[in-house]
Structure 1
Amino acid sequence: MASFLLAFFVLAISPSLLLANRSHATHWKGGVGVWHPNEEKPPNSSSSVRDVVKNATLMASSETISQGDMVVVSWSGYLPIPQRSWIGVYCPHTAQSSDYLDYIWLNNTSITGSVRLGPIVNMRCLFEFRLFDENEEVVAISNLVQFEKGEMAPLQGRLSLTHNTDEMRVMWVSNTDGRAVVQYGPSDDDLSSPSTAIGTSHTYQASDMCGPPATVVSAMCFRHPGYMHDALMTGLKPRQKYKYRFGDGENWSEWFWFRSARPSGDPNSQVNMFAFGDLGEWKTMLEAEPYDRSYSTMWRIENDLAADNADYDLLLHVGDISYARGLGYQWEMFGRLIEPTATRIPYHVGIGNHEYDHVVGGEKDPSKAPGQGWHPAWGNYGDDSGGECAVPMVNRFHMPDGNGNGLFWYSHEYANIHFTWISTEHDPSAGSPMYEWLANDLASVNRSRTPWLFLMGHRPIYSSMIEMDQDSPIDWNRNIQFSQREALEDLLFKHGVDVTLTGHYHSYERTCPVYNGTCLGDLTDPQATIHLIIGMAGAIQDDGKHYDVPWSRISSLEYGYTRLSVANATHLHVEYVQNHAGNVYDDVWIVSNHAWHQK
């Protein structure tokens, strides 16, 4: 009965009050916040939708907009009280005043004034803006704002590889569960008779997830995510340029283009990749885009892709994807953020703590983990997903081994690389389902076909960063490193994993070739795994304190991303690009014959 009453209370209270009481951790690893993390409390209003109390005017500059447009909202006939008057953003426009999507406090003390809002993202509903006075009462309501292509517009496109080099998967979101179709063909054709792929459609509900706020139905928390469409382009020739568009047969995306996969099994292939972790989407729609964080990361990658000689193959995102943590609005913003890149090259993802970790609702966990997920006494595995327990993740991304467990741990080959993805949020100990899968996967690698072996996960097994929770003297993340190392390092050493790519620490770090805390060889003759910590793509930076360890070679707290270029069977080029100036801070070659594990 007590648990029932608690659940009823959580669902009955105002979503804004629920979010106001969420912790605002500064490092974002175990804490969760709203879009305005520096404010003690967001506004709250109990006014009814149309209860206007003053004779004032509020006007949106455009009634019809396109995806990502800005809107100027102007008021007249009312003198705002600084930091006590505010404008709320509503989508759907019928929402109660307490159920705003976003908000901005007003500092302008003029009886006429304006704010510039955006980018406004198509979330399959009409937008409305409301002006509130110091008593939290509605002063004025704006005209409605709609999207030019309406709620049926196909959006948030993203590509991913399959196990077959002549295929490419495309997913997108719209407001219909009707026909899902992709038209595609060689880019030099006129495409008057394109090939057609028919896909499938699905969605998820608040009741599919594990706990609040993800299960709270509101504009702020769970909002219907639309329908996810999934289609497969087939019969592709190796490394050819293709044009494609997706939709329902009447409502179409713009035309995009990509290059098909390289032939598999050629040990001397060249492969060019981007890699990072902990990206997120760190702006409200009511402020300028943070120039040095996730928007800058994706902008610089888009510029790399636009270069005349660009020949990139895929992007690796090693966990902590959108940081939505139960707030559906953030998934919508994140989908727009990555679309220019994800529609051009395959966008591959792994599970992080902010997608998966949960403490209730374990029977709904798509990974089928026992109990309420993995919560060892020596770790800080909490409710970092805000109750999502990876449900949005497995619905929005389809990796080569599928959804469900095929997204928590999976592997695939590409040219001369074997990619192995694991979940650091699940039990890694010998005998566990993931460990047994990992051992079999690593043992199956044919190094004559794929000499390079990469392991992707979210939490690293080596990092020198000191990370203390605000309310605890224990460095839980370091404890987790030691435990992950104890469980997995012998397996990685035995099978000769060349490089691990991980995040979780919001910084960049590169180790020497290291086994059991000891450097073995160097970059030109590695005798153990080299670890790259690449969690610097957008989440708020760590504080820069480090343990004095012999295996750390370089670290940086600047936002950025990595470029990885496998030149042939033995040479790998690693570049860490910093967002602020675009300079390459770390630029090294790893030269390996991959034979050290055979000794």
Structure 2
Amino acid sequence: MRLLATLALLALGAAAAITRKTATTPIEVQLSVEQPPGPFHHDTTVTLRWNVTAGEFDPNLDWVSSWWQPFPDSYIQYFNVTSNVGSATFTLLNARHPYTFQYFRGNTSVAIAAETATPDATYPMGVRTMFPGSDANEVTVMWSSNRSLAEDTIVQYGFAADALDFTVAVEKSLTYTAEELNTRLELPPIARRTGMFENINLRELRCDWQTCYNDFTANELWVEPGLQHVATLRNLAPNTKYFYRVGERGGLMSSVRHFQSKADPSPAASIQVLYVADAGAGYQTGSYAGSASHNACPIPGAGDVDGAQYVWDAIRADPRTALDTMSIMNGDVSYARGWPYVWELFHNETEDIFGTLPVMVSFGNHEFDYGHNPYQLCANGDSGGEAGISTGRRFNQDENHPWFYVKNGPAFIVSLSSEHDPIEQSLWLERDVFPNVDRKVTPWLIVFLHRPLYESSTFDDGPLTDAMRVAYTNLFVRFGVDLVLTGHAHYYDRLCAISSGECNTWGFRDVWNNYVNAALEPALAATCTLPGPSTANTSLQCQAACAKAQGAAATKLGNCTGMSFNASSLTCSLHTCAQPYELVPTPSASVWSMTKEAGASPVYVVDGTAGGTSVPTSTPFSPLTVYKDFMHWGYSRMNINGTHLVWRHHHIDTSVVDEFTLTRE
């Protein structure tokens, strides 16, 4: 869990508790609060002290908690009471509203501290940068607070941290209302629920997947989102580090951050791109379990792992991150799904990443899907009633048409939405985008969207997947898309170059060999004896023969098999898995290289590992799969220059566990 900056206790503030005594809670409690003086800025720590003055504490029923004042439904953080006299220290984030503190016995509030902890809501929070869908060299800077002072709400920027010589005012401050969400959902008026959850005493996750959110959630749990300020820095020098800060002229300003402007479109340039999908915010384990952020729950069976937190922490700890120049967030962004505090946590968790690496954001099912979605193949309650509005306003996108492209150095990168009609987007690509890609200027063409078009799992999105394949796959081949990146599936699955649903190595030189799943122990072997030289076609035929033998050997999930294949000798070895699907090669053995010619089929990668781990219904080997890992959290990045595109996948220990290179001659 990332630790928020801790403020020193500069002064003590103490207040008597408001005590409720009932027949079911025969105790009396005094509470006092210790905190720094005055409203806090970014975050703070507050110590709550209790003293049971009548009766005895109950170690099974008594607990203390912090509460976000506009959210009466659940606490932010809790601690179990272990003595009649004690204390607990809470970490509080500036979410514009005060926090209160309570002592509970079971479901009943016994005492409420008279003093609250109040943030200065004018302080800029959740700073993030984006490359807008524009050919110009621009960066959009966004942040949130409770007010706009028009021309005095500003960004100061320049070429050094101590020389912020330029100033630009916000061009707009966005927000949204409960009524706006209700109208988009096309439902009768949805009332805000009142009071806390009935089973608050459990101090655990109070609901399971798909019961925590539906089309009613965002309205029932409504809290105003503040203002999302938008400023655009224009006419930037190419490939230049800029320093900046945001806030109010003459008032509170953020700390100084920096970003790298886009490189001019050119094969002579190089960029490094961080890739994340399905991450969310975290803060759901330990003393945060069952809290106002509990909807970002870990995957069942993964243990007490705050996965999103681990992924963001790993990215921060990875020394390679310092060399990243931009980022991609490929859908399922915050997993707020109608729970307002999750957005506050997400922006706080990611502001030192997206505040430095301008991000391209795509819409996933948990951003957009709702029952009356005009695109009926994505008509369900996955967004928790946010219906694209929350994400659109927070990342300055048109929630009805959230597709765009960015040209940065040698790369032409296209963001699509898997939650909108793919036919409309394919027409946009065919008429307005792909014909205007000059491969002599931007030799690499990359497309990303949230849901997979292909994956090794036998589970997919059925008619929606079919519709996306019809709209996109032949178009991608015809215009020579190099790489298609997807998420949604919470595992890693690198596929081959695909055309018409099959591996197609036309235009590639097959130079990868001796691909080894190092986690597996040898069990049995089979040799392919095919006539002719070791060409791509015979290589694929041999793999198919290996897969057939492997399928016959795999009799149950717990005794699956893997494959090691040598393309030079056309031999394969079959292995049994130590654990189902844990096909993890050594870094040296997982490197794969291909030389790509214009018009060749794109390589497909599914990477939703920032969102957890899952073992879908799948065979250990798929004809489309080159490498997969269903057991580990992770993230990826690309290094791109005029002749090489290198993709690397990382586990959360920052190690590189899969790598391939596309080379353009």
* TM-score, normalising length: structure 1: 0.77
Is 1:559 equivalent to 2:633 in the alignment? yes
Query: What is the match of residue 503 of structure 1?
Result: 487
Look up the match of 2:171: 199
Matched residue type, 2:62 = S
Which residue of 1 is the match for residue 398 of structure 2?
Answer: 403
After TM superposition, the structure 1 = structure 2 runs for residues 305-324 of structure 1, keeping only pairs within 5 Å, are: 310-324=322-336
Q: 1:491 to 1:306 in 2, by over 3 A?
A: closer
Match of residue 336, structure 1, among 326, 337, 348:
348
- Structure 1 range deviating more: 228-237 or 68-77: 68-77
**Whose strand fraction is larger, Structure 1's or Structure 2's?**
2
How far residue 386 of structure 1 moved from its aligned partner, in angstroms, is: 0.6
AA aligned opposite 2:608:
G
Distance 2:316 2:115 in 1: 33
| Alpha-carbon distance between aligned partners in 2 of 1:224 and 1:266, rounded to the nearest angstrom | 44
Structure 2 Cα separation of the partners of residues 116 and 503 of structure 1: 38
- For 2:20, the equivalent position in structure 1 comes to 52
Query: Paired residue for 2:156?
Result: 183
- Name 2:310's counterpart in structure 1: 296
Give me the whole-angstrom Cα distance separating, in 2, the residues matched to 1:109 and 1:311: 47
Deviations 1:386-409 (A, max 9, x none): 1110111110002xxx53445x21
Aligned residue for 2:417, secondary structure, equals coil
Q: Write the distance in 2 (CA, Å) between the matches of 1:459 and 1:114.
A: 47
Q: Is the 8 A contact 2:392 2:399 kept in 1?
A: yes
Query: 1:85 maps to what in 2?
Result: 62
Q: Match of 2:376, SS? A: coil
Shift of 1:306: 7.8
The residue correspondences of 1:19-418 to structure 2 (distance < 5 A) are 52-53=20-21, 54-64=27-37, 65-77=40-52, 79-92=56-69, 99-102=73-76, 104=78, 106=80, 108-118=81-91, 120-134=92-106, 136-147=107-118, 150-162=120-132, 163-179=134-150, 180-187=153-160, 190-191=163-164, 193-209=165-181, 210-211=184-185, 217=192, 221-249=221-249, 250-263=251-264, 265-284=265-284, 287=287, 293-304=307-318, 310-360=322-372, 372-376=373-377, 381-398=379-396, 402-406=397-401, 408-418=402-412
Partners of 1:116 and 1:216 in 2: CA distance: 34
1:79–1:555 distance in 2 versus 1, CA, 3 Å = farther
Q: Is residue 454 of structure 1 aligned with residue 446 of structure 2?
A: yes
Pick aligned residue for 1:524 from 576, 594, 597 = 594
1:525 alignment partner AA: T
Match of residue 557 from structure 2: none
Q: Look up the equivalent residue of 1:359 and give its one-letter code.
A: G
Query: Which letter maps to 2:404?
Result: Y
- Cα distance, 1:147 vs. partner? 4.9
Matched to 1:462, the amino acid is Y
Contact 2:19 2:29 in 1 (8 A): no
CA distance in 2, matches of 1:214, 1:202: 23
Residue type of the partner of 2:624? W
> What is the aligned partner in structure 2 of residue 365 from structure 1?
none
Residues 412-437 of structure 1: per-residue CA shift (max 9 Å, x gap)? 21112111111111222xxx422321
What one-letter code is carried by the residue in structure 1 that aligns with 2:238?
A: P
Q: In structure 2, what is the equivalent of residue 435 of structure 1?
A: 426
Give 1:23's aligned residue. none
In 2, the alpha carbon distance for the partners of 1:269 and 1:127 equals 49
Question: For residues 464 and 505 of structure 1, do their structure 2 counterparts lie closer, same or farther at Cα, with a shift above 3 Å needed?
Answer: same
The answer as to 2:651 corresponding to 1:578 is yes
The percentage of counterpart residues that share the same residue type is 26
Q: Deviations over 1:464-506 (max 9, x none)?
A: 124xxxxxxxx45355434422332111111111111110001
Q: Which amino acid aligns with 1:427?
A: D
User: Does the alignment pair 1:549 with 2:622?
Assistant: yes
* Matching residue's letter, 2:268: N
Contact 2:154 2:167 in 1 (8 A): no
Is 1:488 equivalent to 2:472 in the alignment? yes
Evaluate the alpha carbon distance shift between residue 217 and residue 251 of structure 1 in structure 2; reply closer, same or farther with a 3 A threshold. farther
Aligned partner of residue 268 in structure 2, secondary structure: coil
CA contact (8 A) 2:65 2:103 kept: yes
Letter of the structure 2 residue corresponding to residue 139 of structure 1: V
Q: What secondary structure sits across from 2:345 in the alignment?
A: helix
Give CA deviations for 1:217-276 in whole Å, capped at 9, x if unaligned: 46982211111110112232222222211112122111112222211x212321100002
Q: Could you tell me how far apart the structure 2 residues matched to 1:381 and 1:476 are?
A: 16
| Alpha-carbon separation, structure 1, partners of 2:613 and 2:406 | 32
Q: Is the 8 A contact 1:214 1:221 kept in 2?
A: no
CA distance in 2, matches of 1:213, 1:449: 52
1:9-61 residue CA offsets vs partner (Å, 9 max, x unmatched): xxxxxxxxxxxxxxxxxxxxxxxxxxxxxxxxxxxxxxxx9672242023344
How far apart in 2 are the matches of 1:443 and 1:164? 15
How far did residue 287 of structure 1 move? 3.2
Instruction: State the SS of the aligned residue for 1:513.
Output: strand
Q: Kindly state the Cα deviation for residue 158 of structure 1 after the two structures are TM-superposed.
A: 0.6
Where structure 1 has 5 or more consecutive residues not aligned to the other structure, the ranges are: 1-48, 361-371, 467-474, 594-599
Contact 2:245–2:254 (8 Å) recurs in 1: yes
TM normalised by structure 2 equals 0.70
Tell me whether 83-92 or 385-394 shows the greater mean CA deviation. Answer: 83-92
Are the structure 2 counterparts of residues 326 and 215 from structure 1 closer, same or farther at C-alpha, using a change threshold of 3 Å? Answer: farther
Work out the CA distance in 1 between the residues paired with 2:105 and 2:502: 63
Structure 2 letter corresponding to 1:589: T
In 2 relative to 1, CA 115–454 (structure 1 residues): closer, same or farther, beyond 3 Å? same
CA distance in 1, matches of 2:57, 2:456: 50
Residue 662 of structure 2, aligned match among 590, 596, 599: 590
Deviation at residue 544 of structure 1 after TM alignment: 4.9
Give 1:291 deviation, angstroms: 6.5
* CA distance in 1: counterparts of 2:439 and 2:18, whole angstroms: 67
What amino acid does structure 2 have at the position aligned with 1:587?
Answer: E
The whole-number CA distance in structure 2 between the counterparts of 1:165 and 1:420 is 16
Question: Could you tell me whether the CA contact under 8 Å between 1:168 and 1:234 is conserved in 2?
Answer: yes
- Alpha-carbon distance in structure 2 between the residues aligned to 1:75 and 1:477: 52
- The CA deviation string for residues 566-589 of structure 1, in whole angstroms up to 9 with x for no partner, is 0x223111111100x221110221
- Structure 2 unaligned segments of length 5 or more: list them: 1-16, 22-26, 195-219, 290-303, 511-592
* 8 Å Cα contact 2:388-2:399 kept in structure 1: no
Instruction: Name which of structure 1's ranges 63-72 and 446-455 shifts more when overlaid on structure 2.
Output: 63-72
Deviates more, 1:500-509 or 1:247-256: 247-256
Q: Is the 8 A contact 2:285 2:305 kept in 1?
A: no
Compare CA radii of gyration and give the structure with the larger one. Answer: 2
CA contact (8 A) 1:83 1:105 kept: no
Shift of 1:174: 0.4
